[in-house]
Amino acid sequence: MRGGESFQRPETGGKAVAWALRQAIGWSIVAAVIFAVVAHRDQLFPRAATAPSATTIRGAPKADPVVNTLVYPLDAHGHVQLDADVDGATVHFVVDTGATLLTLTPRAAEAAGINPAGLSYSMEMNTANGHARAALVTLREVRLGQLSVRDVQAIVMPNLSVSLLGMSFLSRLDRWEMQGGALTISY
């Protein structure tokens, strides 16, 4: 066969059938190879790790193949509200990724064994609601289910109506993300 002969359609009957058969077999082989490549593309061409849509706080994920997750849905106002154990007391929080520190109401601080009246409110804070004073405290433990974070920096703010779960807690997690109408925490 000389170059290009197999692609030219012969004019005579017997040669035309042989040519058509060669074409059908050739294109069948091409289709089978394409199908096999597409079907096994993940094994043949592993994808590079893509940037996660989540906020990754610590560098590498845990080596442990078992990942525990907690999922908290957004409420009707678009906020995540949850209850956490703070030094043995149940405290209701609104998750606030814009808050630098975990923030307790005086009532929540008192439930957690902190005397709000005995604190020094010497920190000046600029909040979404304006200027405020706060007292810096360290919480022994903040627990969400089986997840426990120790020695969490927090503040107590007078005139606060709800406690805020801020970045001094969230930044200590292995991974968290706000996506799909929920907060997902992995630990």
pLDDT tens figures, 67-86? 789 999 999 999 999 999 99
Whether 110 and 175 map to the same domain: the answer is yes
Tally of domains within the chain: 2
Domain that holds residue 114: 55-186
Please report whether residue 49 resides in a domain.
no
Q: Contacts for 55-64 with beta carbons within 8 Å, 24 or more apart?
A: 55/175, 55/176, 55/177, 55/178, 56/175, 57/170, 57/171, 57/172, 57/173, 57/174, 57/175, 57/176, 58/174, 58/175, 61/174, 61/175, 62/174
- The pair phi, psi for residue 56, each rounded to 5°, is -90, 125
Confidence label for 13 from pLDDT (cuts 50, 70 and 90)? low
Please report whether residue 50 resides in a domain.
no
Confidence label for 21 from pLDDT (cuts 50, 70 and 90)? confident
Whether 103 and 132 map to the same domain: the answer is yes
Whether 152 and 176 map to the same domain: the answer is yes
Whether 59 and 134 map to the same domain: the answer is yes
Please report whether residue 100 resides in a domain.
yes
Whether 82 and 148 map to the same domain: the answer is yes
Whether 152 shows a pLDDT value over 60: the answer reads yes
Confidence label for 60 from pLDDT (cuts 50, 70 and 90)? very low
148 neighbors 31 (Cβ within 8 angstroms) = no
Whether 162 and 120 map to the same domain: the answer is yes
Take residue 120 and report the two structure tokens written for it: 């020094």
Whether 35 and 66 map to the same domain: the answer is no
Whether 64 and 20 map to the same domain: the answer is no
Please report whether residue 173 resides in a domain.
yes
Whether 147 and 73 map to the same domain: the answer is yes
Q: What is the residue-averaged pLDDT of the chain?
A: 82
Whether 158 and 71 map to the same domain: the answer is yes
pTM > 0.75: yes or no: no
Please report whether residue 78 resides in a domain.
yes
Whether 85 and 24 map to the same domain: the answer is no
